[in-house]
């Protein structure tokens, strides 16, 4: 067990990387550690984002957002993802014909941008070819880019949290905020008059907002059976997710509506493109694994759909192992809501203390994962799962406040890999870096230089 303390600006932080304690605090004692932070800036765009919401307001918002990520909803969004992957395939085929190398992070970011534009903003774009001219891409890149606002925001939160409140400072540029507000509200208006409505995330939010305003009373999602495989391997939520609060049709304000469409960009963009890049890289340098995956995919012939991509054990293992070795988010944090004694350590945390849980250390510990720096999907094959040490794997966090977009990310990544491995053979090129080096001071794990490989069209 390792517990240590540090300072984040002026804020003392307790760092924990013991699997039992992490689970106890995030799952069993979740109600004492609900929030990531406690600052309210007064800027609705910032404060109403589910990532930042606090206490009961978070619970209400989570109860609205979670159903939009049910299996049934994922199935209805799956064709949108397939369409986006086909645009990527067309682009890669041109690269392959010209015998050009592929920059993985760049192409996977473009794919993820296309998927987000379609699913969260009802806007079809082709970032691979029109990226330079698309206003959507320009504004999204401004929202994502490590701009000065983000750094000032973190400075304020860690050293002068009061300044946030006084200045209502937002890490998002006001011009970007205006662009997305206008975009979302004009699409929402247009949708109201359309007879056939697309089954995307934006439409699900529109319906949730209507329900809050008393329109369209809805029943439970009858198509919400769990992806048991994914649920079991990737995250534990605990049984007590959202107790003691009112879940019936909360009111969704316009701020809520826009800022919670933006979560796809702020929380789902870099994470998913990072998973896809590292997975393609590993398949390129481990050709036997790639061949095995190709053979597994071929068993499903042309029957590739939302159900079948969940029935491929080797695909699941490759994704899981990539998220172990290259977990995009290395640390998650919570604030203590009450004084708390940490297991049998004798340590007592005061109210308001920030606790950081180090997922990276868990995933890379030789005690839990022998030869931890080796990418080895075998660890996650069904016949080997009993050897995994429980509670040591949590790429999507753990407990009721884990990643709400997990199913979406897994669906997108699996769909892309299945389509791409069927069509292309990934190979290392003269410029493929082995071993990889990583960027410092990045929020999301990223290689120091974009990863280059070759993709050849299969015979
Ligand atoms: C491979 C891709 C992804 C990874 C590895 C990932 C990982 C994570 C992690 C570690 C957390 C923190 C959990 C915690 O504090 O316990 C998180 C939270 C979150 N993620 Fe993801 N994520 C991914 C993709 C996505 C996508 C695609 C979306 C949206 C569509 C998304 C939306 C969110 C949101 C909204 C939260 C905050 C949840 C809350 O506070 O209730 N993520 N994610």
Q: Among 278, 405, 417, which is best to mutate for testing ligand 1, by the most ligand atoms less than 8 A from CB?
A: 405
CB of residue 19 inside a 6 A radius of ligand 1 = no
CB of residue 265 inside a 6 A radius of ligand 1 = no
Average pLDDT over residues 409-430: 97
CB of residue 66 inside a 6 A radius of ligand 1 = no
Q: Does domain 3-233+245-457 have CATH number 3.90.79.10?
A: no
Question: Which residue has the least CA distance to atom 20 on ligand 1?
Answer: 403
% of the chain exceeding 90 in pLDDT: 57
CB of residue 402 inside a 6 A radius of ligand 1 = yes
Span from the CA of 393 to the centroid of ligand 1 (angstroms): 15
Which one is predicted more confidently, 252 or 179? Answer: 179
CB of residue 380 inside a 6 A radius of ligand 1 = no
Res 30 pLDDT > 90? yes
Residue with token string 């809805």: 218
CB of residue 59 inside a 6 A radius of ligand 1 = no
DSSP 442: -
Compute the C-alpha angle 161/174/125, nearest 5°.
125
Cα separations (Å) of 345 from 4, 18, 339, 349? 12, 11, 14, 11
| Ligand 1 atom at minimum distance from 26 CA | 16
- The candidate with the shortest Cα–Cα distance to 332, out of 395, 259, 408, is 395
Span from the CA of 428 to the centroid of ligand 1 (angstroms): 31
Span from the CA of 332 to the centroid of ligand 1 (angstroms): 10
CB 73 within 8 A of CB 67: yes
CB of residue 403 inside a 6 A radius of ligand 1 = yes
Average pLDDT over residues 316-343: 96
Determine the straight-line distance between the first and last CA of the chain, rounded to whole angstroms: 52
CB 309 within 8 A of CB 315: yes
Res 67 pLDDT > 70? yes
| Ligand 1 atom at minimum distance from 394 CA | 10
Q: What was the pLDDT predicted at 397?
A: 95
Q: What was the pLDDT predicted at 244?
A: 44
36-60 pLDDT, tens per residue? 988 777 888 888 889 989 999 999 9
Question: Which residue has the least CA distance to atom 31 on ligand 1?
Answer: 405
- The candidate with the shortest Cα–Cα distance to 285, out of 375, 418, 381, is 375
Res 6 pLDDT > 80? yes
- Name the pTM for this structure: 0.92
Return binding residues for heme: 403
Q: CB burial class (10 A; 0-12, 13-18, 19+) of residue 182?
A: exposed
Average pLDDT over residues 324-334: 96
Q: What was the pLDDT predicted at 162?
A: 76
Return binding residues: 403
211-255 pLDDT, tens per residue? 766 555 444 454 555 455 555 778 776 554 554 444 556 678 888
DSSP string, 196-249: SPP-SHHHHHHHHHHHHTT-S-----TT----HHHHHHH----S-TT-SS--S-
Average pLDDT over residues 318-333: 97
CB of residue 164 inside a 6 A radius of ligand 1 = no
Q: What was the pLDDT predicted at 146?
A: 61
285-310 pLDDT, tens per residue? 999 999 999 999 999 877 889 999 99
CB of residue 328 inside a 6 A radius of ligand 1 = yes
% of the chain exceeding 70 in pLDDT: 92
* Residues contacting 239, CB < 8 A, separation 6+: none
425-438 pLDDT, tens per residue? 999 999 999 999 99
CB of residue 357 inside a 6 A radius of ligand 1 = no
* Residues contacting 155, CB < 8 A, separation 6+: 9
The rounded distance, in Å, linking the Cα atoms of 155 and 5 is 19
| Ligand 1 atom at minimum distance from 201 CA | 30
Span from the CA of 51 to the centroid of ligand 1 (angstroms): 9
DSSP string, 242-299: T-SS--S-----HHHHHHHHTHHHHHHHHHHHHHHHHHHHHHHH-HHHHHHHHHHHHT
Q: Which of 89-93, 196-200, 325-329 has the lowest mean pLDDT?
A: 196-200
Q: What is the 3-state secondary structure (H, E, C) of 91-115?
A: HHHHHHHCCCCEEHHHHHHHHHHHH
| Ligand 1 atom at minimum distance from 332 CA | 15
Question: Which residue has the least CA distance to atom 26 on ligand 1?
Answer: 268
Q: What is the mean pLDDT of the chain?
A: 88
Q: Which two tokens stand for residue 300?
A: 């499903």
Q: What was the pLDDT predicted at 187?
A: 87
356-413 pLDDT, tens per residue? 999 999 999 999 999 999 999 999 999 999 999 999 999 999 999 999 999 999 999 9
CB of residue 408 inside a 6 A radius of ligand 1 = yes
């Amino acid at each position: 067990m390792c517990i240590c303390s540090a300072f984040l600006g002026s804020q003392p932080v307790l760092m924990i990387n013991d699997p039992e304690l992490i689970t106890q605090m995030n799952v069993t004692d979740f109600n004492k550690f609900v929030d990531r932070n406690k600052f309210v800036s007064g800027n609705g765009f910032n404060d109403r984002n589910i990532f930042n919401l606090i206490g009961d307001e978070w619970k209400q918002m989570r109860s609205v957002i979670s159903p939009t990520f049910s299996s049934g909803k994922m199935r209805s969004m799956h064709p949108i993802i397939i369409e986006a992957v086909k645009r990527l395939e067309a682009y890669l085929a041109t690269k392959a014909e010209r015998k050009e190398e592929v920059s993985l992070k760049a192409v996977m970011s473009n794919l993820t941008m296309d998927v987000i534009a379609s699913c969260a903003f009802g806007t079809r774009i082709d970032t691979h070819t029109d990226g330079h001219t698309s206003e959507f891409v320009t504004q999204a890149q401004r929202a994502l880019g490590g701009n000065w606002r983000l750094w000032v925001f973190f400075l304020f939160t860690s050293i002068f949290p009061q300044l946030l409140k006084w200045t209502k400072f937002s890490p998002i540029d006001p011009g970007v905020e205006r662009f997305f507000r206008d975009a979302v509200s004009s699409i929402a208006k247009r949708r109201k008059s359309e007879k056939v409505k697309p089954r995307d995330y934006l439409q699900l939010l529109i319906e949730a907002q209507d329900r809050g305003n008393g329109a369209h009373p809805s029943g439970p999602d009858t198509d919400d059976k769990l992806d048991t495989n994914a649920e079991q391997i990737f995250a534990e939520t605990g049984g007590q997710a959202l107790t003691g609060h009112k879940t019936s049709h909360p009111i969704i304000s316009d701020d809520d509506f826009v800022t919670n469409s933006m979560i796809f960009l702020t929380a789902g963009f870099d994470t998913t493109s990072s998973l896809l890049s590292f997975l393609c890289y590993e398949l390129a340098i481990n050709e036997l694994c790639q061949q095995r995956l190709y053979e597994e995919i071929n068993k499903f012939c042309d029957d590739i759909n939302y159900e079948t991509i969940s029935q491929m054990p080797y695909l699941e293992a490759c994704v899981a192992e990539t998220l172990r070795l290259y977990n995009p988010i290395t640390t998650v944090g919570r604030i203590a809501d009450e004084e708390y004694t940490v297991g049998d350590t004798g340590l007592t945390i005061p109210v308001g203390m920030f606790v950081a849980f180090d997922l990276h250390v868990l995933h890379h510990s030789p005690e839990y994962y022998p030869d931890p720096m080796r990418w080895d999907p075998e660890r996650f094959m069904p016949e080997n799962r009993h050897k995994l040490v429980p509670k040591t794997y949590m790429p999507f966090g753990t407990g009721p406040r884990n990643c709400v977009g997990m199913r979406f990310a897994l669906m997108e990544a699996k769909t892309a890999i299945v389509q791409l491995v069927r069509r292309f053979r990934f190979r290392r090129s003269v410029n493929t870096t082995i071993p990889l080096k990583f960027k410092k001071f990045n929020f999301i794990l990223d290689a120091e230089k974009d990863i280059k490989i070759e993709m050849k069209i299969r015979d």
